[in-house]
Chain A
Amino acid sequence: MGRLLSFFINKNDVSRYPGFGIITLLFFLFLYLPIMVIIAFSFNENKIVSVWNGFSTKWYTSAINNQTLVDSLQVSLTVAFISTFIATVIAVSAALALTRGDDIKNKNFSIMVVNLPLMLPEIVFAVAILILFSLLGVQNGMLKLILAHTCFCIPFAFLPIRARLQGMNNNLEHASQDLYATPWVTFRRITLPLIMPGVFAGGMLSFVISMDDFITSNIVSGGGATTLPVYIFSLVKQGVSPELNAISTLIMVASLLIATPALYFATKK
């Protein structure tokens, strides 16, 4: 009986289908081949990108010595750090109010409003914020970038934090208050440590989204601040150079270094 059952289960096991191995291989090639090509050609000596000439790290040297590139990276990192911090603080407050507040009116409507930027086409958001800035007379490029990035990062930070709070028994907070802890101490000693994986995941997501953003950054840039993606795009317009391959590879390594611990914490119980 057991053997018969396992025969049926194995028959339905997708890995037993003919061609499973080949399809899997093709799938991964499709996903990663372009990336592997970039990494390989970033070490190409030849100035013509698609012709292999010999191994060299000179494009890395030239990328690191490119002052405009380093400046734009600095802008991107500054904007990402500050807007991630502000967005995460706002997201934690919103998530606390919307999961723990008993007397909040229009709770579902509020949740929708917080999440709305996720569904809005980014170009609409970018144009809208550009008009708003010119109406308000905001001139400073850095300030514009930070405000805009904070704005679209909030829902990305909000979602994992809210999920974590919903999964946490609110009796723990009651128990803390019952044991004479003030609301602030309860937040610091009980709630925050327990939702930390969610906060961390939300923050990482915001950071990556901010670093990666092109449309909004391109539209609101000016006023003396250019982010890395905007700068790279201007390079591409001049034609693909091997330096670009080196920059891309460096960004990829940095992203992996950030994303791996983020994934680890997000999946940790």
Chain B
Amino acid sequence: MTKAVQIKGVSKKYGSYQAIKKVSFDIHDNEFFTLLGPSGCGKTTLLRMIAGFETPTTGNIILHGQNIENLPANKRRVNTVFQNYALFPHMNLEENIGFGLEMLGWKKDKRECRVNEMLKLVHMEQFAKRFPSELSGGQQQRIALARALAPEPEVLLLDEPLSALDLKLRQAMREELQDLQRQTGITFIFVTHDQEEALAMSDRICVLAHGEIQHLDSPINIYENPTNRFVADFIGDTNFLDVNVTGSNVHATSIETPLGINIDVPASGVKVGQDAVMSLRPEKISINKSVDGVSLPGRVMHRTYMGGYTHYTIQLSSGADLRVSMRNNISNNINYDLNEAVTLGFSPASVRVLGE
């Protein structure tokens, strides 16, 4: 796999504030790569350094083998879709999309051809002569995409481009973005704080916090096998319980849980005696059905009906609270009442042990 972008020992300091602490990773060609993290984690700073709006304090940024960290933004073959689109208000859509091509010195007829092609790609052919202020948020979003894709950049950078759209439109745009990435074959680097968006679209996700990489992997691995407590907490919903590690080898980790049971769970690398938590996702727990011999008595303390799902909080007789999520499908539309006595089951294989 060829590398589109290599980040090598990049750090960024603003005065005494360290926004990025020496990070290194590669982004592959034709990849949908996501930088995910809470606000202030440094994801936008990283993106702006790749775009050329910030210079790294240390380290190298390499685009297809060429060092670019000292090139000005207008000399880098990367284009950006800005958070608030940044369409030029005094130019119509054609002129907006053609701007990059004009700067690259494309001839007028060739430019027109490409602009029409881009307008067709984002389903906006009939709007060519309109101005940005005459468009809805979703339409502006599409034009911003078309403008950034028109000069065929080596890498497309997307800075939280969906955050200004309403929920329905955001969900529709996710699929459109994925389709666009596949059609054009351009490497996408997508910045978001929305974990659902990241899981839905990415080939790989890099989770950042406090200017450091927490976990870089495929969406499935990030969700199923998070490297630390932060990642498990930030991506999706989970139950954390403090545990004692009583045994640890390459095959399994033995833990003593506050649920009143001792179990062997998948190997974690956490050593005996080390502070540790277990993470158990709410949807991996079943109600009134024992799994792998686990059946824990408890009582329904809280119920939240969410339409497709119902969330329960169950207080176990051991004193621990567990959140459980039940899908309301055809075969499972039973509702449990408050204070109803239930038993919980889960497979020790779905428990993850994480160091602090």
Contact A174 B147 (CB under 8 A): no
CB-defined contacts of A172 to chain B, threshold 8 Å = 86, 88-89
Is A179 within 8 A of B86, CB to CB? no
A169 within 8 A of B: yes
A179 partner, pick from B53, B84, B100, beta carbons under 8 A: B100
Chain A 147-188 interface 0/1 with B at a Cβ cutoff of 8 Å (1 = within):
000000000000000000000010110111111111101000
B90 touches A177 (CB 8 A): no
Most-contacted residue by chain A among B82, B86, B89, B151 (CB, 10 A): B86
> How distant is the Cα of A172 from the Cα of B100 in the complex, in angstroms?
13
Point out the residues of chain B lying under 8 angstroms from A177, CB to CB: 52-53, 72-74
| A193: contacting residue among B87, B90, B104, CB under 8 A | B90
CB under 8 Å from chain A, chain B span 67-115: 72-75, 78-80, 82-84, 86-90, 99-100, 103-104
Is A209 part of the binding interface, using a Cβ–Cβ cutoff of 8 Å? no
Interface residue? A190 (CB, 8 A): yes
- CB nearest neighbor in B for A185: B103
Given the known A-B contacts A178-B74, A182-B74, A194-B90, are A169 and B51 also in contact in the complex, defined by CB atoms under 8 Å? Answer: no
A175, A182, A193: the one within 8 Å of B86 (CB): A175
Number of residue pairs spanning A and B whose beta carbons lie under 8 angstroms apart: 60
Bound Cα distance A78, B103 (Å): 39
Given A169-B84, A171-B84, A178 and B79 contact (CB-CB distance below 8 Å): yes
A190 to B89, CA, bound (A): 9
Task: Say whether chain A's binding surface is mostly helix, strand, loop, or mixed.
Answer: helix
Q: How far is the CB of B150 from chain A (nearest CB, A)?
A: 9
Q: Report chain A residues within 8 Å CB of B79.
A: 178-179
CA distance A172 to B147 in the complex (A): 13
Instruction: Kindly list chain A residues whose C-beta atoms are within 8 Å of the C-beta of B80.
Output: 174-175, 178
The CA of A172 and the CA of B80, in the complex, are separated in Å by 11
* Least CB distance, B321 to chain A, in whole angstroms: 45
Q: Which of B51, B87, B104 is A178 in contact with, Cβ under 8 Å?
A: B51
Chain A residues, CB < 8 A from B75: 180
- Residues on the B chain within 8 Å of A169, using CB: 84, 86
Q: Considering residues A178, A190, A193, which has the most beta carbons from chain B within 10 angstroms of its beta carbon?
A: A178
User: Shortest CB–CB separation between residue A230 and chain B, in angstroms?
Assistant: 42
Q: Which residues on the A side are within 8 Å of B100 (C-beta)? A: 179-180
* Chain B hits for A193, CB < 8 A: 90
Residues in A neighbouring B51, C-beta threshold 8 A: 174, 178
Interface string of B41-78 (1 = CB under 8 A from A): 00000000001110000000000000000001111001
Q: Which of B111-158 contact A (CB under 8 A)?
A: 147-148, 151
| Residue on A nearest B99 in the bound complex, by CB | A179
A181 with B74, Cβ < 8 A, contacts A174-B53, A175-B80, A176-B99 known: yes
What 13 additional pairs, Cβ within 8 angstroms, besides A179-B79, A180-B100, A194-B90?
A169-B84, A171-B83, A174-B86, A175-B82, A175-B86, A175-B87, A177-B52, A177-B73, A178-B52, A181-B74, A181-B99, A182-B74, A185-B103
Could you jot down 9 A-B contacts, CB within 8 Å? A171-B83, A171-B84, A174-B86, A175-B88, A177-B74, A179-B100, A180-B100, A181-B74, A182-B74
A interface residues (Cβ-Cβ under 8 A, vs B):
169, 171-172, 174-183, 185, 189-190, 193-194
Closest 4 A/B residue pairs (Cβ)? A179-B100, A180-B103, A171-B86, A175-B86
